[in-house]
Amino acid sequence: MKRWGAVAWRAAMVVLLTLGAGGALASEIPSYTPDPNASREEVPEVFRWDLSALFATEADWKAEIEVVARQVEELASFPATDSDAQTLARILGLYFDTHDRANHCTLYANLIHSVRLDDDHAGAMETQSLALMDEVMTQATTVRQAILSFDDQEMTDAYASEKDLQTYRSYIENIRRRRDRVLDPQAERVLNLMGDNLWAEIDLNEIPSKSENAFGALLTDIAWPKIIDEDGNEVQMTLASYGKYRASENREVRRQAVQAFFGTLYQFRHAFAATLSGQYEFSTELARARGYESAKVAYLDKYALAPAVYDNLISTVRAHTDVLHRYVSLRKTVMGLDAVHLYDLYVPMVDAEIGAGDGMDYATARETLIEALGPLGKEYGQLLAYGTDPANGWIDVYPHAAKRSGAFSASVYGVHPYVLMNFQNSQDDMFTLAHEFGHAIHSHLAMTSQPYSAFRYVPFLAEIASTCNEALVNDYLLRHSQSDEERISLLLAQAENIRTTIFRQTLFAQFERDVHAMVGRGEAVTADALDELYAGLVRDYYGPDYVLDDYDGMEWAYVPHFYYKFYVFTYATGLSSGIAIADRVREMGEPAVKGLMAMLSGGSSEAPLQLLARAGVDLTQPAPIEAAIRRLAETLDELELLLVKGSR
């Protein structure tokens, strides 16, 4: 497997894209009708990703697994302290090379298993590679201790004497930034045994606590009730089918589903309160053990984020809940309701068939996407054209039996991103394609601009490029809409996206903050207290035309986001930033594009707020959040004209 330096690789890709850009746009994409029940072999090969860029054969993968295992042993032999500059450079070089190799192994197995969920051998490969990655991650403690064994002057001298350390400077300085939060070796050992995650170098959501595991087990073991469906049949409701019945066009069916679901949750309210309070007490204890004033401060500091970012989001959204009240009022009027209940929020406001955008095949979606994202400039457009051309092997396009549902983008340093889709010829699928290629191109630009130690952007930045893409695509479709019906469909989708991503996720973020504050004050976190807090927030956010029913306050009980350790707010800041950047691109053109590309290329080479500032966004201030809320207000203005004053 050839390993590329960031500069050499970027130069190679520029040549490749220059040579292939025209061909990518003109590529003959064959016609295919999606069939979720087809076998993988029935999907034309051109629509299946090519993993040979990772490993040519499974034998090569096995050989690399052995290399990683040997390098883990070598890493373990290094001293954790008393390192000189040259030794530290060797430790860091070996650690990141081992991590990179292990990541290739893990992703190769994961990508194979993602399209062959019924293949036990593929599942075993994934398990084996993940176990190996865990072994690599255990060496992060040794690396951290080696870095922190240098005092400030020694570190300055080390940079001067060992030039290779410059490659790892951003990583080193991010660790040293928190050196006051490191305890003595025995205390660190105790915290590690407790399941400390504040120094973890992977997504914290991949490290479930015991309370989170108990929460998941509780949800799994609940016997959900039966309800009467639209055809008058008694059907078994499940956690998976709840969303379907909650969105039923039959109001009695969705009312019954929501009340039965929350009524069932209510029977287990004390157990759910115990798992959530246990999670928050654990987070608070870990934070206090390291000298933080609160769990919120600790988990934000992990990514060099100031608490002001979190609190600014909540205060700004709370100051503009009148716009959400307008949304609820419009829904009430258009649907002809006496009041809006929770079970009225997830059904289409108008006929679901209006402007739905079905019948958009992959080739058309791709061409539309390339044109819609044209404002992002030539380099972005070339990457998009090349990556979305299925002949180039980046993307697995269509659904089939035993393929993972949904969509994702996976970053493979030194190769290229891989994108999994389940494209079924709809406009929604095109938006998903835009979203996932926002992730993919963000990763590609970071990988080709930064060393491995600094290419991974933090979760706080993860959703910005993807939501910027969606905003630009939506703007393009609105400009080219051919009828009021099509325009209404696009506007409703935009309004719903802002409601669920900015207002709803901010409500979640406030609930998470306030419950942690209760724990910090030593207050009892009971089911009744949680119900009262959550119901009060819903009333404040949704306004006078929204009615809470019995047990609606129990919604907190089944939301997994509340176990994600101050992560949920990033959905709201991500969409706000994406919309703000899309507005800047539309209004300013090239200067805004250059700023965005600088942010996307930055990886983790700078603190996330500094990188975001390159794109012209400051999330310590209300402006970008207000821009997103203003977009909702403008959307409601037009919808009121089309749906109410126009007397459709």
Residue 23 in this model has a pLDDT that exceeds 50 = no
Q: Which residues, 6 or more positions from 37, have their beta carbon under 8 angstroms from its beta carbon? A: 400, 401
Asked whether residue 592 is domain-assigned, the answer is: no
**Least trusted range by pLDDT, from 20-34, 292-306, 312-326:** 20-34
Asked whether residue 68 is domain-assigned, the answer is: yes
Antiparallel, parallel or unpaired: β 234-236 and 418-420 = unpaired
Structure tokens at 46: 């051109």
Selecting among 436, 463, 486, 606, the annotated active-site residue is: 436
DSSP, residue by residue, 277-307 = HHHHHHHHHHHHHTT-S-HHHHHHHTTT--H
Structure tokens at 242: 């709840």
Q: What is the tally of structural domains in the chain?
A: 1
pLDDT digits (tens, 9 = 90+) for 197-239: 888 777 656 677 899 989 999 998 999 999 999 999 999 999 8
The answer to whether residue 640 is catalytic is: no
The number of helices, as runs of H, and strands, as runs of E, in the chain is: 27, 5
- What is the span of the domain harbouring residue 147? 42-177
Angle between helices 169-177 and 152-161 (to 10 degrees): 180
Residue 647 in this model has a pLDDT that exceeds 60 = no
Residue 106 in this model has a pLDDT that exceeds 80 = yes
**Half-sphere exposure (CA, 13 Å, Cβ side) for 259?**
13
Name the range with the highest mean pLDDT among 183-187, 203-207, 455-459: 455-459
Asked whether residue 51 is domain-assigned, the answer is: yes
| Residue 402 burial class via C-beta count within 10 angstroms: exposed 0-12, middle 13-18, buried 19 and up | middle
Closest CA to 100 of 540, 413, 310: 413
Q: Could you tell me which residues are beta bridge partners of residue 420?
A: 396, 408
Residue 17 in this model has a pLDDT that exceeds 80 = no
Asked whether residue 419 is domain-assigned, the answer is: no
Give the separation between CA 618 and CA 624, rounded to whole angstroms: 7
Structure tokens at 457: 């952007």
pLDDT at residue 200 in the model: 79
- Alpha carbon distances (Å) from 257 to 237, 260, 335, 342, 553: 8, 5, 19, 11, 15
Q: The domain spanning residue 66 has which CATH number?
A: 1.20.140.70
Closest CA to 647 of 407, 183, 333: 333
pLDDT digits (tens, 9 = 90+) for 350-381: 875 454 556 789 999 999 999 999 999 999 99
| Residue 151 burial class via C-beta count within 10 angstroms: exposed 0-12, middle 13-18, buried 19 and up | exposed
Asked whether residue 315 is domain-assigned, the answer is: no
Asked whether residue 566 is domain-assigned, the answer is: no
pLDDT digits (tens, 9 = 90+) for 459-470: 999 999 999 999
pLDDT at residue 25 in the model: 43
Asked whether residue 185 is domain-assigned, the answer is: no
Global pTM value: 0.91
Question: Quick one: which H or E segment has residue 234?
Answer: strand 234-236
pLDDT at residue 9 in the model: 44
Asked whether residue 293 is domain-assigned, the answer is: no
Residues 301-309: what's their mean pLDDT?
95
Antiparallel, parallel or unpaired: β 395-396 and 226-228 = unpaired
